[in-house]
Amino acid sequence: MNSILLLIIIIPAIEIFLFIKIGSQIGAITTVLLIFTTAVVGVYYAKYEGLNTLKAGFTQLSKNETPTYEMISGAAIAFAALLLIIPGFATDILGFLIIFPITRKFIFNKFAKKFKNSTAEKNNFIDGDFEDIEDENDKKL
């Protein structure tokens, strides 16, 4: 089965399970208010972190450096804001983990180590020799 299709089925099932469990403990109205609160707080914090990332990116550009971390961080913040807007507790937890700079840097370092190991083994160049052969037609010009 395709992994994306599997995620489309599993994530809502987990969210429904958490809605039922948490709603039975704290009540339905409190659960709905908690969902709206996490969405509003998350979006405003995402805006704040996005502006900080944009400011850091401009600082990197003014130093004539490539703002690679800031670009990846900005995309991650946008994804986290999307997760926070989607109603649910599991997506909110994942969104808040991505939005906070400390956990975001930790997640990035884990992925960077994984990709560095896989790309370090590959050589992205071809080593070879060449010989310049003169043609008689080249001498006529």
How confident is the model at residue 66, as a pLDDT?
Answer: 87
87: left (phi over 0), alpha (psi -120 to 50) or beta: beta
Instruction: Say how far apart CA 74 and CA 47 lie, in whole Å.
Output: 10
**Exposure of 83 by Cβ count < 10 A (0-12 exposed, 13-18 middle, 19+ buried)?**
buried
Q: What residues contact 66, with CB distance under 8 A and at least 6 apart?
A: 60
Which residue reads 């670009």 in tokens? 71
Going from N- to C-terminal start, the domains of the chain cover 28-118
Mean per-residue pLDDT of the chain: 85
Write the pLDDT tens digit of every residue in 47-61. Answer: 998 899 999 999 999
pTM: 0.73
Compute the half-sphere exposure of residue 1: CA atoms within 13 Å on the CB side of its CA: 8
Write the pLDDT tens digit of every residue in 53-105. Answer: 999 999 999 999 888 888 899 999 999 999 998 889 999 999 999 998 899 89
Q: Comparing C-alpha atoms, which of 59, 53, 60, 58 is closest to residue 80?
A: 53
Alpha carbon dihedral 17, 18, 22, 23, in 10-degree steps, equals -60
